[in-house]
Chains A and B, each alone.
Chain A
Amino acid sequence: MRTRLAFLLSGMAVAMMQLAFAQDGSMSLPKTVEAGNAFTIQSTGSGKATLYIIGLGQVLKRNVQLGEATFFPAGSLYNAGHYLVVFAGDSSTESDSFDVVPASKPADLSFLAKPSRLPVGLHDGITGAVYVFDAYHNLIAAPTPVSFELSNPSGTVQKRVVVTREGAAWAGMDSTARQGMDRFVARIGEISSARVVGQVPGDPCGLKMNARQSGQQVQLVTDPVRDCNGNAVPDGTIVTFTEAYNGGQSTVDVPLKHGIAEVQMASHNGATISVASGVVLGNQIRWEK
């Protein structure tokens, strides 16, 4: 905001100076300059003047001799944008403009990968978006091919190449059938950025429990709980045991520990015992002592 204001005020000042002073010289400017590159501004006429280069976030000032070339070394201008050039002499003022464009060579990627955790086996469940920048953090708007690569610990690799549009490229990837921490990499040439995407098991599948007498109680133990792709459902997942008997009911929510859920409940002859996890129902047992 402050730089814009400075730019505006400078422009107004120059315009006023142009009205006040007669023109008696000219200058030769490049139409575009690549960010960070060296460049030269040639002026005509004679006498001394002050050269201003005013852009968004950057202002350069040089005392120059009219009629000579003014050299700006590499790194002088690095923010892409439109720049105003002003020669302010003793009796005259002249202005022109040129553009600083992003460097053509990408130097940095901003990589957004979503989500960081998702269930296995989802089509286009993972999205990666890349913004390409040059060494001075200017967004490179020129089309640039970006390679997206999602690999999981079992060695499966998904790869897509997408060309950027207005500096951005994005791709969708499928989560695989195996749980684990996948590595999601976006790459342009030798520049890359990596993210980790956790693929977690889905809903339990084929939930099954067994019951046996344990003293005056019934001991209920599930088989190792797995999803439909064979991944072990993580510990802490809630498994609900329900025992219904003679109009009464007992319920207990048990977290999986070491892959199984285990609980002891009061033993009621003829009771119907069921097991569920979330919206998934398991088997049902009719309990006879």
Chain B
Amino acid sequence: MSNGRLLAALLAAATVALVVIGTVWPVPSAVAYAGGASLLRSSSTPEAAVANLGDEIRMQAWGKAYASLANKAQFTQPEFVHDLTGYYPSLRTYATVENFEVLPLHASADEAEIELKLHWSTVVGASVSTRDLHVIRNGDRWEPEWPIAREPIVPPQVIPVNYLRWDVIYRGPGDDWGAQDVEAPHVRIVDMHPVERADGVVILGELLNEDVVPAYVSVTATLLSKSQSPIATEDSFDKISHLLLPKQVTPFLIKFPNVALSEVGSIRMAPLSALIAASADPVIEIENEQLHPAPGASLTGQLINQSGQIVNVAHVLGTFYDKTGQVVWVADEYIDRALLPQNPVPFEIHIPEDLARNVSSQRTVIATYSSGGTQ
């Protein structure tokens, strides 16, 4: 009993001591977060000035970030904030800057070019945005100029939409057991094969909605050993376009980490499909798609929203084929900006270097999400 009291007294004393130490000699970051002295360094060099700006953006100290800019007369603080977080709800709206990189490009006595690479943390993973900043000397301080990118303003107009939509009514609980229910959409895997990668086995393929109704789809795969016992089961998660309109094809990619292809005897594929209420709009054009070879192999292009509806999140899925038409890779990218009508938005999907030389052609599909519903 006396040992317990002694331990409690020691813990209480240690807690009090640590609180006192933390209050009297706080770490700089704690001071900054508490609204005290800034964590920022002196803007005596171009790199320090941009690093300070990066820190202020990371802390969402929009006022301080805006105040530190040399060209703030060219735009307002809300315009600056919207440039970073998006004018319309998008992935960026709910994202935070995890960290950033400052890369000097060019410098002279009075001006410099610095690249600021912001690593955003979004609900679907990391997203990187890069801005080249012109930094100018102002006395003994350096101040960055923010290259403002104003969102194009969609002119007020009425866009007629031939609104095509499917709704579903399922059987009711009071129906006779023999009564029909609506049939699930018929989907078919039109291509599938496993690939061995450094981190495990990857299953690539394509799924077709061969029905006349929209389908919510997903693909599950089970790896079986040579003795037909299951090794692992995984699904396509977000490496698929889950909404397929009639006759639409989506690629899919399923990862099995830490599994060797030599262990696999066979694969059991289970495509899932369910009826879903959906709309045939919006229509997204993928323009100027370009395959870039290694090094830095990628697929680039622009998305153009041909509808009148604003698309809040777009998911670009690229399927890459070899000369024989076999799928060699599936890669994707989320667009962290809203797609405005007729406003091109660039995308870039990276292709693994070792596979890039086998890529002969590609096909891109877009999954879109608009606030207020899927599609």
In the complex, per-residue mask of B286-308: 1 if CB is within 8 Å of any chain A CB, else 0: 11111100000000010000100
Q: Check A252–B212 contact: CB distance below 8 A.
A: no
B135 touches A (CB below 8 Å): no
- Indicate if the CB atoms of A266 and B182 lie closer than 8 Å: no
Q: Is A247 in the interface zone, CB < 8 Å from B?
A: yes
* Residue A277 CB within 8 A of the other chain: yes
When distances are taken between beta carbons in the complex, the residues of chain B under 8 Å from A265 are: 285, 287
Residue pair B162, A257 in contact (C-beta under 8 Å): yes
Contact A110 B208, beta carbon cutoff 8 Å: no
Q: Is the CB of B180 within 8 A of A195?
A: yes
Of listed B162, B212, B247, residue having the most chain A CB within 10 A = B247
Q: In angstroms, how far is the closest chain A Cβ from the Cβ of B83?
A: 28
Q: Are A116 and B182 in contact (CB under 8 A)?
A: yes
Taken residue by residue from 226 to 264, chain A's Cβ proximity to chain B (1 for < 8 Å, 0 otherwise) reads as 000000011111110000000111111111011000010
Chain A hits for B290, CB < 8 A: 247-249
Q: Considering the chains assembled together, what is the distance between the CA atoms of A280 and B284 in angstroms?
A: 21
Contact of A111 among B166, B178, B286 (CB under 8 A): B178
Surface stretch bound by B, among A10-18, A59-67, A95-103, A196-204: A196-204
Contact across chains for A250 and B289 when beta carbons are under 8 A apart: yes
> Is B210 interfacial (CB-CB < 8 Å)?
yes
Binary contact track A181-205/B, C-beta < 8 Å → 1, others 0: 0000000000001011000110110
B286, A252: Cβ atoms under 8 Å?
A: yes
Distance in angstroms from B305 CB to nearest chain A CB is 11
CB 8 Å contact bits of B35-66 with A (1 = contact, 0 = none): 00000000000000000000000000000000
Interface size of B by Cβ–Cβ distance < 8 Å?
A: 41
* Shortest CB distance A94–B (Å): 42
- In angstroms, Cα B181 to Cα A113, docked, is 10
- From A110, A113, A251, A266, name the one whose CB has the most chain B CB atoms within 10 angstroms: A251
Q: Interface 1/0s, chain A 41-62, versus B by CB < 8 A? A: 0000000000000000000000
B180 touches A278 (CB 8 A): no
Chain B 344-375 against A: per-residue CB contact (8 Å), 1 yes, 0 no?
00000000000000000011111000000000
Cross-chain contact A251 with B246 (CB below 8 angstroms):
no
Is the CB–CB distance between A110 and B177 below 8 Å?
A: yes
Kindly identify which residue among A113, A201, A235, A253 contacts B180, using a CB–CB cutoff of 8 Å: A113
Across the interface, name the chain A residue whose C-beta is closest to B181: A116
Does B176 make an interface contact (CB < 8 A)? yes
Interface residues on A, range: 35 or more
In the complex, A112 has a CB within 8 A of chain B:
yes
| B25–chain A nearest beta-carbon distance, Å | 61
User: A1 interface residue, CB < 8 Å from B?
Assistant: no
Whether B164 contacts A279 by the Cβ 8 Å rule is no
Once A236-B245, A252-B283, A255-B283 are accepted as A-B contacts, the answer to whether A115 and B183 lie under 8 Å apart by CB is: yes
Q: Is B205 an interface residue when CB atoms closer than 8 A count as contact?
A: no
List the B side residues contacting A251 at CB < 8 Å: 285-286, 289, 363-364
- Inside 8 A of A253's CB, which chain B residues have their CB? 245, 248, 283-284, 365-366
Residue of A nearest to B285 (CB): A252
Contact, CB under 8 Å: A255 / B177:
no
Q: Does A117 contact B (CB under 8 A)?
A: yes
Chain A min CB distance to B85 (Å): 30
State A4–B209 Cα separation when bound (angstroms): 49
Contact yes or no, B246 A238, CB < 8 A? yes
Contact B287 A196 (CB under 8 A): no
**A238-B247, A278-B210 given; A252·B306 CB < 8 A:** yes
A248 close to B164 (CB less than 8 A):
no
B176 — which chain A residues lie within 8 A by C-beta?
110
Once the chains are docked, how many angstroms separate the CA of A150 from the CA of B283?
39
Would you call B327 an interface residue if the criterion is a C-beta within 8 Å of the partner chain's C-beta atoms?
A: no
| B190 contacts chain A at the CB level, 8 A cutoff | yes
| Chain A to chain B: the 5 pairs with minimum beta-carbon distance, closest first | A278-B247, A255-B280, A110-B178, A252-B285, A237-B246
Subset of 19 A-B contacts with CB under 8 Å: A116-B180, A118-B183, A196-B180, A203-B247, A234-B246, A235-B280, A236-B280, A237-B212, A237-B247, A238-B245, A238-B248, A248-B290, A249-B290, A252-B284, A253-B283, A253-B284, A254-B283, A255-B280, A278-B248
